[in-house]
Amino acid sequence: MFNRTLPVLLIACIAAGASRTVNDPFVGKWKVNPSKSVPTDQMKIDVAGPNTYALTFIPGQTETIVADGTDQPAMKGTTFAIIVEGPNNWRAIRKKEGRMLISATWTLSADGNTLTDAFTGYRPDGSHETLHYVYERTAGESGIPGTWISVSEGMNAVIELEILPYNGDGLSLHSAAAQLTKNIMFDGQDYPDVGPNVAAGTTSSGRRVNARTLEVTDKFQGKVTDIRRIELSKDLETLTITVRPVGQSKPKDILVFDRE
C-alpha cells in the first residue's frame, strides 16, 4: 500500500545508431487512462510486540511502528504514524520532512476477512490522488494484522509520464508529480534514480525485449524490488506498464497510458 507513491514510472524502445532515440516511439508525453488501469496491492501486518506492528508494503522492506499516533522514523527518510481508532479502524499517515505524503483509513469487515483502504497520495504542489482498495485476508486470524491482497480497486488519479532521449540510445523517464526521474541506458547496468524523495541506493536497469517491449528492473540497496514490463501498442498510441514486485503472486499495477 505505501509503496504507491504514484504508480508512475517506466518506458522505452526502437531503431539503431546515434539517431536511435530521435525516432523512438516511446518518446513523448503519456497520460494514464484510469478506466483501463488496474492497480493492485499486497501488504503484510505482523504483531511485533505490545501495541507494536511490523509492516511490509514492499517485499524485503519491513518497518516496525508503535501504534501510538506519533510520527516515527520509517524507511527512505520518511515518518510513519498509526492511529488506532478502534479494533476495526486504523488510520495511517506517512510524511517526509513534515509534509504529508500519504494517508489511509483501514476498516475491517464484521467477519474479519475483508479490509477496505481509503487511500490518498499527496503531490508536492498540494494536489492529490485517491484510490479505494478492497483486500481479502490470505493469512492471520483476527483483527487488522495479517496478510492482505487487493481484489478491487477504484482509481481517480491524473498520472502523467514524460519520456525523453537520454545519452545516445537511452531514455529518461520523468514524473513531475512524483518528482522522480529514471535515466536508463539499456546496457544491463544499474543507474541511480533521481529526485528529492528518492532514497539512496534506489536504482534501475533496463533491456529492450523487442521493438515495442521493454523490461525495467528496480532495485533498492542492490536487491531487486520489482520488474516492470512496458509494452507499446501496434499503433504506438497506447502504453501498458505491468509491475510485478518480487515475492508477490499478482502484479502490483497494470497501468494503461494514452499518448498526449
Q: Which among 37-41, 61-65, 126-130, 243-247 has the top mean pLDDT?
A: 61-65
The whole-number average pLDDT for the span 61-76 is 93
pLDDT > 60? residue 210: yes
Domains of the chain: 20-39+158-259 (2.40.128.20), 42-156 (2.40.128)
Phi and psi at residue 204, in whole multiples of 5°?
-140, 150
Q: How many residues in total does the chain contain? A: 260
Instruction: Mean pLDDT check: name the lowest of 97-101, 103-107, 242-246.
Output: 242-246
Q: What is the pLDDT of residue 200?
A: 82
At 249 the pLDDT is 63
Average pLDDT, the chain: 84
Between residues 14 and 102, the one the model is more confident about: 102
Q: Which three cell numbers stand for residue 152?
A: 478491487
Per-residue pLDDT at 130: 81
Task: Show the cell assigned to 133.
Answer: 482498495
Residue 32, beta-bridge partner list: 257
**Whether pLDDT at 5 is above 50:** no
Q: Which residue, 182, 169, 122, is CA-closest to 17?
A: 169
pLDDT of the residue at 86: 92
Q: Which three cell numbers stand for residue 82?
A: 498509526
For residue 249, the cross-strand partners are: none
Q: Is 15 left (phi over 0), alpha (psi -120 to 50) or beta?
A: left
Q: Is the dihedral of CA 109, 114, 118, 122 positive or negative?
A: positive
How far out from the chain centre does Cα 17 lie?
33
For residue 35, count CB atoms less than 10 angstroms from its CB and return exposed for 0-12, middle for 13-18, buried for 19 or more.
exposed
pLDDT of residue 65: 97
pLDDT > 70: percent of the chain: 85
Q: Structure pTM?
A: 0.63
pLDDT for the residue numbered 154: 57
Asked whether residue 75 carries a pLDDT value surpassing 90, the answer given is no
The full DSSP string for 228-256 is EEEEE-TTS-EEEEEEEETT-SS-SEEEE
CB atoms within 10 A of CB 61: 17
Q: What is the pLDDT of residues 22-37, one digit of tens each?
A: 579 999 999 988 888 8
Residue 244 pLDDT > 60, yes or no? yes
Contact 180, 174 (CB under 8 A): yes
Q: What distance in Å separates the CA atoms of residue 61 and residue 138, rounded to the nearest whole number? A: 19
Higher pLDDT, 226 or 55: 55
